[in-house]
Amino acid sequence: MMDYNLAWLSYRNIPWYEDRKFFQTIVTREKHVVIKTAVAELCRAAEEMFGMQPEITDRQERKDNFGKNRICLVMDAGISVAGGYRIEEYGGQISIFSGDASGILYGAYALVRRVQRELPLTGLKLQELPDMPLRMLNHWDNMDGSIERGYAGSSFFFKEGEILLNDRTRDYIRLAASVGINGVVINNVNVSGDATRLITDEYELSLKRMAAELEAYGITLYLSLNFAAPIELGDLDTADPEAEEVQSWWKEKMARLFQRIPNLGGFLVKADSEGRPGPFTYGRTHAQGANMLADMIKPYGGLIIWRCFVYNCTQDWRDKKTDRARSAYDNFMPLDGQFAENVILQIKNGPMDFQVREPVSPLFGSLEKTNQILEVQIAQEYTGQQKHVCYLIPMFKEILDFHTYCRKTKDKVSDIVSGRTFLQTECGMAAVANTGSDRNWTGHDLAAANWFGFGRLAFSASLTAEEIAEEWCECTFGPDRETTAAVTRILMMSWPAYEKYTSVLGIGWMVNPGNHYGPNVDGYEYDRWGTYHRADHRGIGVERGRAGTGYTSTYLEPNAAMYENIASCPEELLLFFHYIPYDYKMKSGKTLIQHIYDTHFEGVEDVEKMIGIWEGIRGKIPEEIFRRVKERLNHQREHAEEWRDQVNTYFYRKSFIADEKGRKIY
Ligand code: GCV
């Protein structure tokens, strides 16, 4: 008995589905391992949905039943975007065309999705070409089985220092591949202890097996790397990237590793960040650090994915000039053009750290000569930790749709990370994963929509957040219109609701230090992390304009002027960019303080609405899932009330301005 479900790949039995007839035969002449996977996936779907066992053949023609009722998997050089596919039904035959094996697999999954939604296959014409070349999941899993910022149980990759490879791993791989993921980093970016030794012979066999399992689904294995490995593995007393002994050490290590695991994709590196070692210790730049490693793995086609999450985490809260928001830009912008071809900078979506609302990182659009990956976090560290429902795809859409003005056309973040703007191929999106060994993979059943949605969005950035929500919902629960409408409504309400009852207008934080869960308005205010709100009795907000930290000037025009000027600054980011008095009039005509009170009351009301909507579909969702979600929604309501009351009380006590509507504030 499996102690987990298969999320959106839990196929329902639908013997009434007319177009099941196409699954009678699967035809392919291709021998590629990923195409074998595609065949196996189609067979599994046919078996589970219709109790059918398709005949598998490499014969294109059959005298008795020419071309009828079959699915053909065909390589077609005409589709030149890697992973792209075209599906066509013609004369009783469905053909899935692609220029490469992964595309055939993605086409097979797309076909199955349509079946799950009980949409017709007859007359089908569908083409999808992936927007992002790299579509990655970053797991922050530790080798003892814990997960940093993990909210869905323990790791299914590691336990007690060992690598796990079992049915659960395989089902994880299926789920990831089914939404187009093509790269996975299995260990935490904070690399220490056993994880430092992942590059040694010790783990060679397990990693080799892991890489092969992933490869069969078109996914490349990556590891996080410890920059100080030459020291920590006890071989050298320096990790200086310019030191000859360090270079030969890495050269030898990498040669051995890639010889044994030639399909390893490369490494993700967190350096000089939050106490992790890096090139700064030796007076070297990030370009020197990254390029040295890149050089060592270039012969094997490997990539170094270097994170830009670099900032001073020992700041003095009294210092109003140092601005953590500037940090990634100040550190990396001067290095544009200095990175090797096989280095990619991985940039968090915002300049701070996965808050519920942040402006887009100013590195996007400014860096012109450097490969870039957009990093988002579907682990809901600051967005309800998978106890609150918070569908993040609308946020990711806004980020992708942001105009940087780096060019007259193709200037959006989605253009840049798809490679269209600067004609790059080593680019894409990565998400900090939200999975774990919980029965439903993601803690909150509705959080699976973020995993599914991230993959779908990275593949097809033009899909809307609603389309993705509906697709996820119907694949997971079946195509019941009422259920789809209700669940989609809850998902679409959830990010704005979370923002309303927590920290509005871009101010962020206000969480309990350490675990980052629950309200604590001053939790980080007098601390060293550079995460302040600067509220006093007159107003609140961080002055990041010219009169303050000057962060606004890191944007290209006209964005810089838009943010600089309070009147044109988008209101949802007002307190991120400016210190604003409580009696400031918002566009709605309300004062700032009234806006704060109102949104916090509204946020709780929104959660109550979500509970009502969920209750309305009882009986349409498997009872076990219904109850799990209901329990979490009830917790969310209580927790939202706590947020509302703490935040409103805090600002009432600071400002001494009463709520116009006379509601209870403590
Ligand atoms: C993996 C935040 C998190 C850390 C995380 C870090 C990062 O600061 O709280 O747990 O470390 O981001 O992205 O490296």
Average pLDDT value for the chain: 97
Closest CA to 468 of 459, 479, 457, 484: 457
Q: Provide φ and ψ at 591, rounded to 5°.
A: -75, 160
Residue 208 has pLDDT above 70, yes or no: yes
Q: Provide φ and ψ at 633, rounded to 5°.
A: -65, -40
CA distance linking residue 564 with residue 425, whole number of Å: 34
Which residues are paired to 665 by β-bridges? none
Q: Given this model, what pLDDT does residue 60 score? A: 72
Residue 57 has pLDDT above 80, yes or no: yes
pLDDT in tens, 256-274: 999 999 999 999 999 999 9
Closest Cα to atom 7, ligand 1: which residue?
Answer: 309
pLDDT in tens, 518-533: 999 999 999 999 999 9
Could you tell me which residues come within 8 angstroms of residue 496 by beta carbon, excluding any fewer than 6 positions away?
606
* pLDDT, average across residues 278-291: 98
Could you tell me which residues come within 8 angstroms of residue 601 by beta carbon, excluding any fewer than 6 positions away?
644, 648, 663
Q: Given this model, what pLDDT does residue 627 score? A: 98
Residue 473 has pLDDT above 90, yes or no: yes
- The tokens for 421 are 């703007």
Secondary structure letter of residue 550 according to DSSP: -
Residue 63 has pLDDT above 80, yes or no: no
pLDDT in tens, 580-616: 999 999 999 999 999 999 999 999 999 999 999 999 9
* pLDDT, average across residues 67-87: 94
Instruction: State if residue 595 touches ligand 1 by the CB under 6 angstroms criterion.
Output: no
Which residues are part of the catalytic machinery?
274, 353, 381
Q: Given this model, what pLDDT does residue 234 score? A: 87
Instruction: State if residue 189 touches ligand 1 by the CB under 6 angstroms criterion.
Output: yes
- Give pTM, 2 decimals: 0.98
Q: Best substitution site from 188, 274, 385, 516 to test ligand 1's pocket, by max atoms within 8 Å of Cβ?
A: 274
Closest Cα to atom 13, ligand 1: which residue?
Answer: 309
The answer to whether the CB of 586 falls within 8 A of the CB of 543 is no
pLDDT in tens, 127-158: 999 999 999 999 999 999 999 999 999 999 99
CA distance linking residue 519 with residue 536, whole number of Å: 18
CA distance linking residue 550 with residue 543, whole number of Å: 8
CA distance linking residue 319 with residue 329, whole number of Å: 19
CA–centroid distance, residue 320 to ligand 1 (Å): 23
The residue type at 93:
Q
